[in-house]
Structure 1
Amino acid sequence: MGHDGGVSGAKDLAFGSIAGSCAKVFEHPFDLCKVRLQSQPPDKALRYTGPWDCFKQTWTKEGVRGLYRGLSAPIVGAAAENACLFLVYNQCQRLITFAKGSDPSTPPQDKGLDELALAAAGAGAVASFILTPIELVKVKMQVTLLRAENLALLVNGSNPTSKPPRPDFSSLPGPIAILRQTIAKNGLRGLWLGHYGTLLRETGGSSAWFTTFEVVSRLFMRRREKAQGLERGSIGRSDLKAWELCVAGGCSGMAYNIVLFPADTIKSAIQTNAELRPDLAASHRASFLGTAKEIFAARGIKGLYAGCGITVARAAPSSAIIFLLYENLVRNFA
């Protein structure tokens, strides 16, 4: 991926893991709000009117610890996802180059965008199989407190004028407990609940992510060459400045999320049915298309894009961090 020469598979794994983990710490509160907005059952009144309302309610009721609820699973997920993405993306590029009989030493900026888009889609498809179980645990942790609140309201009734007590986080299940519960109830197959949504999002999103980064990076390279009167190809990615890498990474993050955001919304709704709609989850297994139709019928296109604004807003700096860290690790340690 983003380098002029080759990087070993082991270093791809290491660099991708470090970059993804660091970015996840920054973005997790935004992701939590996104998941809670996406998971609002279409057959019930809206709990949150928008991202800011979700953030305020979470902060008021749960504090800073609530905003980082479920962080452990995403940290593992981000490390695994980015390690897998960068590794498989580079290997897919090599495979395509081999199939075409091209020079294997050709740097990414000299390859066709169609090749890079195809390699990125392959990387996203592979990553989705690793990511689905990790995201399943994450989103369940992010909405378990909402389920506890719902049960309390049913049992005790509600007093809108009273300030809600701080939650007892020690009583909520952790990632290992949720993992065990899921396997005990649905077997290993249950860990891939909502996988179709993850597959769609990762395949199309990863293609947009890497390709957009490449396009913007090339614009900066050509701009520098023109300004300095250099021949085409004289400036490589290793010559780009930190702010240029951040801009390219920020654009790629926004492209990733805009492309197939409804698939992520549907996935989150399916994965949290057991917590937020236990009556429905007990009667039948939610399908991807069925859930999409239900959300659209209840809330229209706006429902399918619930949380999109806050996701795109956090994706820009998050992806900027990932690409900046990855490229600098490549420059200094590859």
Structure 2
Amino acid sequence: MEAAPDALNPATTETRKGTPAVRAAKDIAFGSAAGIASKFLEHPFDLTKVRLQAQVLDASARFKGPLDCLSQTFKKEGIRGLYRGLPAPIVGAMVENAALFLSYGELQNAVRWASGTQTTQALSLPQLALAAAGAGAITSTLLTPIELVKCKMQVQMLISPSIPPTVLASSTSIPLSAAATATLPPSSAAAAAASLRALPGPLEIITSIYRQFGLRGFWLGHTGTLIRETGGSAAWFSTKEFVASLLIARSPPSLDSSVSRRRRDLKSWESAFSGACAGASYNLALFPADTVKSTMQTEAELRPGSQQGRSFWAVGKEMWAKQGLRGLYAGCGITIARSIPSSAIIFCIYDGLMTRFG
């Protein structure tokens, strides 16, 4: 396959300034800034996605679809409910994008070294996809604990409101079932209302997970995150690079025909458009892995009577038997809808910062 334009490789010496340490610091800072900005836009849709995924194994669905989920959440929980669990995704966005962009650039250098390619030579799209897949695999290890806390917070309001705050705070993994709470005395009504205001925060959830399962417990669902991030990142970066290369190729030549457009010459709308295409491609093929991951990470809260500690493949098999392909793609539509503008924002900000300061 023909190599992508040199401009699309952020690790080349012609498009990056400073020492390796300076370039790494820029990747971390610019990636973090882009990730934070995108989360404020996409979080309500991510919350909807997780809640739709979490109901696949329920006997009866709580929500008819994404719009119904958004509507019910807003009516019952208000704007605050739509942003339930936001601190964890903010941290996750900083970690994810910083790690992705940093690893992506460094792994491109590793691919060049392994293939004997010169530092200034462009990589082919398959080579870029390989570097991106490696970056996704690295990022998944850092991201899984953050996503675990985020998912648990996003389904807290779906747990029976009759659970006393003390129970919620002391154990996020063993809530009372609806049948059990039906036997509580009438005086528990006040406790039920208080529980909605006293839901455990991220630090309490982290403490509970560590107390019950140790460090290993934070990587519940890691297989799903690994599959999603490895394949998704390869699709994300390679789609961005490919679309951007097409936009560069179709542009009129500069006054000096000996100088071709480079990545830093991308207009804002070009970065946004290629990023939007990347966002759509990220989710399509490997979305079922994310569905299984979300189900595993919320099963203790929503189905306390079910068997815990099952493998990724066992949960996936049960979900397939329950609702087939439709269940594995629960929430996919709204996820793609939010990933398109979110990814556009990420690359627009990242490329803009790299053009100005990189």
| TM-score > 0.5 by shorter chain | yes
Q: Does 1:250 align with 2:276?
A: yes
Instruction: List 4+ stretches of structure 1 deviating above 6 A.
Output: none
Alignment equivalent of 1:9, drawn from 10, 24, 42: 24
Structure 1: gaps of 5 or more residues: 158-164
Q: For 1:211 and 1:15, locate their aligned partners in 2 and report how far apart those are by CA, in whole Å.
A: 19
The C-alpha deviation readout for 1:159-212, integer Å capped at 9, x for no partner, is: xxxxxx988543101001000100111110000000000000000000000000
Shift of 1:156: 4.2
The C-alpha deviation readout for 1:80-108, integer Å capped at 9, x for no partner, is: 000000000000001111222222123xx
Q: For 1:43 and 1:36, locate their aligned partners in 2 and report how far apart those are by CA, in whole Å.
A: 11
Q: Does 1:120 align with 2:132?
A: yes
Alignment equivalent of 2:68, drawn from 53, 59, 70: 53
Alignment equivalent of 2:297, drawn from 259, 267, 271: 271
Q: Does 1:25 align with 2:25?
A: no
Q: For 2:259 and 2:245, locate their aligned partners in 1 and report how far apart those are by CA, in whole Å.
A: 10
2:106 match: secondary structure: helix
Is the contact between residue 5 and residue 105 of structure 1 (CA under 8 Å) also seen in structure 2? Answer: no
Alignment equivalent of 1:235, drawn from 261, 264, 270: 261
What residue in structure 1 maps to residue 245 of structure 2?
Answer: 218
What residue in structure 2 maps to residue 327 of structure 1?
Answer: 351
Structure 2: gaps of 5 or more residues: 1-7, 18-22, 163-175, 184-191
Change (3 A) 1:149 1:300: farther
Alignment equivalent of 1:74, drawn from 73, 85, 89: 89
Q: For 2:338 and 2:194, locate their aligned partners in 1 and report how far apart those are by CA, in whole Å.
A: 27
What residue in structure 1 maps to residue 168 of structure 2?
Answer: none
1:104 match: secondary structure: coil
What residue in structure 2 maps to residue 303 of structure 1?
Answer: 327
Instruction: Give the number of equivalent residue pairs.
Output: 321
Q: Does 1:288 align with 2:349?
A: no
Shift of 1:242: 1.0
Q: For 2:156 and 2:252, locate their aligned partners in 1 and report how far apart those are by CA, in whole Å.
A: 53
Alignment equivalent of 1:312, drawn from 336, 341, 355: 336
The C-alpha deviation readout for 1:283-304, integer Å capped at 9, x for no partner, is: 4412111111111111110000
Is the contact between residue 30 and residue 98 of structure 2 (CA under 8 Å) also seen in structure 1? Answer: yes
Q: For 2:136 and 2:88, locate their aligned partners in 1 and report how far apart those are by CA, in whole Å.
A: 19
1:286 match: secondary structure: coil
Is the contact between residue 62 and residue 167 of structure 1 (CA under 8 Å) also seen in structure 2? Answer: no
Moved more, 323-332 or 94-103: 94-103
1:9 match: secondary structure: helix
What residue in structure 2 maps to residue 197 of structure 1?
Answer: 224
Q: For 2:9 and 2:197, locate their aligned partners in 1 and report how far apart those are by CA, in whole Å.
A: 42
Amino acid at match of 2:268: A
Q: For 2:278 and 2:92, locate their aligned partners in 1 and report how far apart those are by CA, in whole Å.
A: 19
Shift of 1:225: 4.1
Q: For 1:181 and 1:170, locate their aligned partners in 2 and report how far apart those are by CA, in whole Å.
A: 19
Alignment equivalent of 1:35, drawn from 42, 50, 55: 50
Amino acid at match of 1:318: S
Moved more, 285-294 or 135-144: 285-294
Q: For 1:28 and 1:247, locate their aligned partners in 2 and report how far apart those are by CA, in whole Å.
A: 21
Moved more, 231-240 or 86-95: 231-240
Q: Does 1:171 align with 2:198?
A: yes
Query: Structure 2-normalised TM-score?
Result: 0.85
Amino acid at match of 1:192: W
1:118 match: secondary structure: helix
1:279 match: secondary structure: coil
Change (3 A) 1:309 1:2: farther
What residue in structure 1 maps to residue 151 of structure 2?
Answer: 139
Q: For 1:51 and 1:284, locate their aligned partners in 2 and report how far apart those are by CA, in whole Å.
A: 27
What residue in structure 2 maps to residue 130 of structure 1?
Answer: 142
Is the contact between residue 222 and residue 232 of structure 1 (CA under 8 Å) also seen in structure 2? Answer: no
Change (3 A) 1:232 1:136: farther
Moved more, 132-141 or 42-51: 42-51
Shift of 1:58: 0.4
1:212 match: secondary structure: helix
2:145 match: secondary structure: helix
Shift of 1:149: 3.8
Shift of 1:238: 1.4
Amino acid at match of 1:5: T
Is the contact between residue 161 and residue 193 of structure 2 (CA under 8 Å) also seen in structure 1? Answer: no
Q: For 2:149 and 2:312, locate their aligned partners in 1 and report how far apart those are by CA, in whole Å.
A: 19
Q: For 2:299 and 2:258, locate their aligned partners in 1 and report how far apart those are by CA, in whole Å.
A: 54
What residue in structure 1 maps to residue 4 of structure 2?
Answer: none
